[in-house]
Structure 1
């Protein structure tokens, strides 16, 4: 199988009709020859007078704050996330990054839990029953399992 090409950004708009598993599969390069480093959302978020566009990256075990699912985000249940962005995007940040097409990375990324197709395979665990008692040999995927991503920062218009 040929090695996947790595591209910097997948630019997209997210609304309530967005198929989040399909989007995250595209981001992760499932069934495609391209994998992306980040997702840049065209959605606008207003913070302290600035228009911001959120950036999603893989969590890679980095410490983060908050917690939102992709489903809640696309439905607009994002009050804690909006408050976090407003706290991070200060007037000094706006002056430095506004219109620069450069990502302002948050001091503390905000946790995003989203499903990709890998979270929907292999439901159920494998058990060994040979010796009278059950012992789990392999833990399977759980229903509703998600992968950790983060809202890592913003582009500021």
Structure 2
């Protein structure tokens, strides 16, 4: 009985550990498809947009004078920043699309490998769990993060990293 239980535990761990790699394989096939909607099941656009929105907000906050950091807060600058925020969010909605995600992943694959056609899988430098529900993929200078959402692994972040020289 112990052997069966141990076998089942090992089987579950192996299946769970290979699950995101299988998703990468399916994403690679979807990236090669003509229809951009083929990657839709593998991408969480709202989470990707939220990440970029957060980064833009932090960058804007860093550029704003802050009285707590010894600077003076000017009402006109604050009003201008608040007025520009909806425009930036609308631009983000129009820019970060499935087409953009597909282009970004394909471009990262081309830059990361000399193989042509540049398959997503062939360009992966590193792919491993960051936590039990988060999986990181590095393609050259591009970091792709997948998270477990329900029963699916989905791309939730794309970031460009500075290359070490």
Q: TM-score, normalised by structure 1?
A: 0.23
Larger Rg: 2
TM-score (norm: length of structure 2): 0.22
Greater relative contact order (Cα < 8 A, sep 6+): 1
